[in-house]
Structure 1
């Protein structure tokens, strides 16, 4: 019997538990550890932040659904990983021994790297459902007394889609309230151009997203480094293409949401051979850590270099489909090890995203993520908005059922099918 421990119960950790249960031997024990008793569907957070969803709509109690699949759950956070002992030390003092460990924690949100950033400072966040709930409270106050909105992503961020989504969703909500004319909006991003997305652009993402921003009267500042945030005031340095400062901006705002940079969580940060300097988990092509070979990692916590050098630092995103492919590869590789074989399965690392814009949306498919690509497609339309709503319901239903079905893969195949129809 082997004990397989999964650290984290998000979009990476929950599918990992289900797929591992489906592939593991009957006698193998699987345990999920999380500092949160509930799973929440992160892609829906922008909707929560404008009261288009309630947190109950996008949350599931973890323990009951895992129990149905004979998967143990420990609802206590990890204090420190001790890979040389094959142990996870928990916040309550307990330790959990493992034969194989899958790290699927997601990131630590590095609000502290910029003075005044984040929910404890002067900007909102949609990275966690708790943050989205607080942002919604701020939004309700804002619409009673509207003014300038600043939205975007700071230097080092590696997830840009939600910033664009939230900007467009706010725009849609304001138009529904018939107060859009009272709200100037500025999009501030570390990207070298609108639509870069941390991917060097996908298809005509630059042209299409610039057109959407112009159509919605959203101004933008690219190559932007946010240096400090005060109450109602953001300090931003715009840079030239060679990285030299170009212009200093002081932006007044009444409401702001800025995505932070990510780091590895404290429980793994600084473990030599396990993480890079930012605390992300180092892996080989089989998702396995090169030094501690019984440790695998999936999702946002994985160390992936930027797609290209940019004047202001930008990170590479890890989309749902990519995370799912990491999960599938990891489950097969651990099974290989259980059978005495060498791990051989590699994740595809393709980038796919459905971005909701409130009443329309955009979809991109980058196969593979790093150019040159076999598929390099970006499109927009109301179908994306409807597709994301449908996918949210489908994903939540499958999570409750405990399925190991590759949900994001199905989404990708549907998107590629639509692409082929559009091409005809």
Structure 2
């Protein structure tokens, strides 16, 4: 009997545990360790931040659902990992031994890298966690009571740009519903070299479509933006040229600001010698396995992926839900092979499929593979994306309640995006003979 420990119970961790239980059989133990005792559907946080969702709609208690599947759960933070002895040490002094470890912790939020950033010790809001999103909603309500300038965007080194675009457009829609938009100037401040870069050097016509959306909704922007300091109601930004030189300094006033931080690896993982890169992200091979520790696998935001190219202000590469799903499935199949005495052969597809809600419409993209050159390089928009994102939320929450590990919806989204790509091509060129 082998003991498989999953460290982290987010969008990668819970599916990994469910899939391991379904695929590997009841003779093996599966244990999930998470720093909190609940699962949070992070993609819904932009809605929470404007009051369109409540906490109980996007959060689930973990233990009852895992227990139904015969999966053990420990709701305490991991303090350290002793990879040599295959042990996870927990806060409070206890330890858990494993035969195989799957690391799906997500990131550490590096607010400390910009003075004055963050919702607790600083002056900017965040939508990275449910707690942050609830605090952001409180600040949004204060904005509605006393309207003023808004700054939304991403700090230097950020890698997950999609939620910043979502929150910008959702905030715009929420303010229009309250008939306050004309009193709230919005500026998008981002480390990206251009609007629609997304940490991927663009996807299809993402630059043109997103610039059009911003112009159409009267949203100004500053790109190549290196935010250097934030004070109460004021943000300091250096705008760089293509060579990385400062050519303009901005001092921006705000009443409400949501800025996504750079990510790092969580401390317990980053401290393991030879496991991570200098930022604390887990180094994995093509089979999602650590080259140094063959019984450690990793998936999701916490793994190391190099940037697609140099940018004046550092930009990381996002890891989307579909991509994480493929990593998790590959890991479980590789564990099955290892338990049978064989070498791992399965690989994640690393395809970037994303749905971004804009309040009443939305944008979607497919980058296959994620790192250029690509076989598929498509970006589109429309009301269908808004509806698909709502459907995805309902589907995924049900999936976590039932413990279903089959990526049915993900396959459906691939087909839907394929249809929309074909439709866009026909509209541009006309039907083929």
Q: What's the TM-score once normalised by structure 2's chain length?
A: 0.97
SS in 2 for 1:403: coil
SS in 1 for 2:267: coil
Counterpart of 2:422? 420
1:69-128 CA deviation, whole Å, 9 max, x = no partner?
Answer: 111101111000110110000012100000000000000000011110010210000000
Tell me if structure 2 keeps the 8 A contact 1:321–1:412: no
Cα offset, 1:269, TM superposition: 1.6
Distance in 1 between residues matched to 2:339 and 2:412, nearest whole Å: 28
Counterpart of 1:52? 52
SS in 2 for 1:84: coil
Counterpart of 1:74? 74
Counterpart of 1:190? 191
Distance in 1 between residues matched to 2:61 and 2:315, nearest whole Å: 34
Tell me if structure 2 keeps the 8 A contact 1:264–1:279: yes
Distance in 2 between residues matched to 1:268 and 1:10, nearest whole Å: 16
| Unmatched 5+ stretches in structure 2 | 427-433
Tell me if structure 1 keeps the 8 A contact 2:11–2:41: yes
Tell me if structure 2 keeps the 8 A contact 1:321–1:409: no
2:222 corresponds to 1:221: yes
1:39-76 CA deviation, whole Å, 9 max, x = no partner?
Answer: 01100000000000001000111111111111110111
Cα offset, 1:295, TM superposition: 0.3
Distance in 2 between residues matched to 1:4 and 1:201, nearest whole Å: 38
Distance in 2 between residues matched to 1:410 and 1:296, nearest whole Å: 27
Counterpart of 2:90? 90
Counterpart of 2:111? 111
1:201-248 CA deviation, whole Å, 9 max, x = no partner?
Answer: 000000000000000111000000000000000000000001111110
2:126 corresponds to 1:125: yes
Distance in 2 between residues matched to 1:281 and 1:89, nearest whole Å: 18
Cα offset, 1:293, TM superposition: 0.7
Counterpart of 2:429? none
SS in 2 for 1:267: helix
Cα offset, 1:422, TM superposition: 4.1
Counterpart of 1:371? 372
Range moving further from structure 2, 306-315 or 405-414? 405-414
SS in 2 for 1:321: helix
Tell me if structure 2 keeps the 8 A contact 1:9–1:39: yes
Counterpart of 2:245? 244
Q: What's the TM-score once normalised by structure 1's chain length?
A: 0.99
Counterpart of 2:413? 411
Counterpart of 2:431? none
Cα offset, 1:417, TM superposition: 2.8
Supply the RMSD in Å over aligned alpha carbons.
0.9
Q: Note the 1:10-409 alignment, pairs <5 A.
A: 10-120=10-120, 121-406=122-407, 407-409=409-411
